[in-house]
C-alpha cells in the first residue's frame, strides 16, 4: 500500500531542498523539522522513507549527482576541461560550493557521511578525471610520469572551496576556465 510514499516529483523536490538547506545552514544545522517544514512533508514520512538524517543527506547527494565527467571526450585535454566547466551553470556551481562548505566540518566528525560523500561525489569525479587524463597521456599531451597527474582533483576541488574563502564569492564558469588555463594545464605541461 503506497498510502504515504512520495511521488517521484515530490521526492526530487525534497532532495533539492535538502541540498539547498545544507548550503544555507550546514550539516549540523540541518534538522528533519526544517526539511519537513520547507517541503510541507510530515516528519513521520521522512523517517519512514529515509530512516535518518545521514541517509536522507546521502540520498540527496546521490540524486544531485554531478556531471558525468567520464562521458566527456572532446579530443583534447583543454577541450575536455572546458566542456566539464561548461556543463554546469554558475547558479549550480554556487549551490554546489555552498553545499561543500556546509559539509566541510561535518565530514570530519561523521565517518558515515564522509563515506557517502566520497562514494557519491568524490570517487566519480576522481575516476572521471582519471579517464580524461589517461586519454591525454595516450594522445601525448601529458607525460605519463608528470607528478601533477595525481593532484588534479586537489587543484579543482581546491579552486571551488578556496574562492569563497579568499574572494567572498562562489566559483563560476569564468573563474574556473581561467584557473584551468593558468594553473591546471600548465602544471600538466599540456597545450
Binding residues (CB under 8 A) for its own copies: these are 23-29, 98, 100-102, 104-109, 114, 117-118, 122, 126, 146-148, 151, 153-155, 157-159, 161-166, 168, 178-179, 181-184, 186-187, 189
Least separation, in Å, of the C-beta of 121 and its own copies? 9
Closest distance of CB 116 from its own copies, Å: 13
Distance between CA atoms of 94 and 102, rounded to whole angstroms?
A: 12
Are 107 and 116 in contact by the 8 Å Cβ rule? The answer is: no
Q: At what angle do helices 123-138 and 77-86 cross, to 10 degrees?
A: 150
Specify the residue, 15 or 179, whose C-beta has the smaller distance to its own copies: 179
Min dist CB 135 to its own copies, Å, is: 20
- Of 33 and 73, CB closest to its own copies: 33
The least CB distance from residue 184 to its own copies, in Å, is 8
Q: Which is nearer to its own copies, 41 or 160 (CB)?
A: 160
Our CB check for its own copies shows the closer of 57 and 107 to be 107
Rounded (10°) angle between helices 152-167 and 123-138? 120
What are the CA-CA distances from residue 65 to residues 36, 48, 88, 167, 187 (Å)? Answer: 22, 23, 12, 26, 28
* Cβ at position 55, least distance to its own copies in Å: 20
Considering the complex, state which of residue 28 and residue 138 has its C-beta at the smaller distance from its own copies. Answer: 28
Give, to the nearest 10 degrees, the angle between helix 53-63 and helix 32-39. Answer: 50
Name the DSSP letter for residue 50. H
Q: Each residue of 31-62: b (16+ CB within 10 Å) or e?
A: eeeebbeebebeeebbeebbeebbebbbbbbe
CB of 120 to its own copies, least distance (A): 13
Q: Which is nearer to its own copies, 6 or 157 (CB)?
A: 157
Cell numbers 531542498 label which residue?
17
Amino acid at each position: 500500500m503506497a498510502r504515504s510514499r512520495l511521488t517521484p516529483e515530490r521526492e526530487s523536490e525534497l532532495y533539492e531542498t535538502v541540498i539547498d538547506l545544507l548550503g544555507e545552514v550546514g550539516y549540523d544545522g540541518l534538522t528533519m523539522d526544517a526539511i519537513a517544514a520547507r517541503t510541507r512533508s510530515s516528519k513521520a514520512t521522512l523517517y519512514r522513507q529515509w530512516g535518518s538524517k545521514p541517509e536522507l543527506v546521502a540520498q540527496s547527494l546521490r540524486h544531485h549527482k554531478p556531471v558525468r565527467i567520464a562521458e566527456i571526450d572532446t579530443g583534447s585535454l583543454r577541450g575536455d576541461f572546458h566542456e566539464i566547466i561548461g556543463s554546469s551553470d554558475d547558479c549550480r556551481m554556487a549551490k554546489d560550493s555552498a553545499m561543500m562548505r556546509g559539509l566541510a566540518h561535518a565530514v570530519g566528525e561523521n565517518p558515515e557521511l564522509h563515506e557517502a560523500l566520497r562514494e557519491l561525489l568524490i570517487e566519480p569525479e576522481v575516476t572521471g578525471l582519471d579517464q580524461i587524463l589517461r586519454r591525454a597521456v595516450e594522445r601525448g599531451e601529458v607525460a605519463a610520469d608528470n607528478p601533477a597527474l595525481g593532484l588534479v582533483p586537489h587543484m579543482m576541488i581546491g579552486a571551488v572551496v578556496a574562492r569563497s574563502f579568499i574572494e567572498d564569492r562562489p566559483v563560476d564558469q569564468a573563474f574556473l576556465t581561467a584557473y584551468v588555463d593558468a594553473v591546471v594545464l600548465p602544471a600538466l605541461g599540456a597545450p
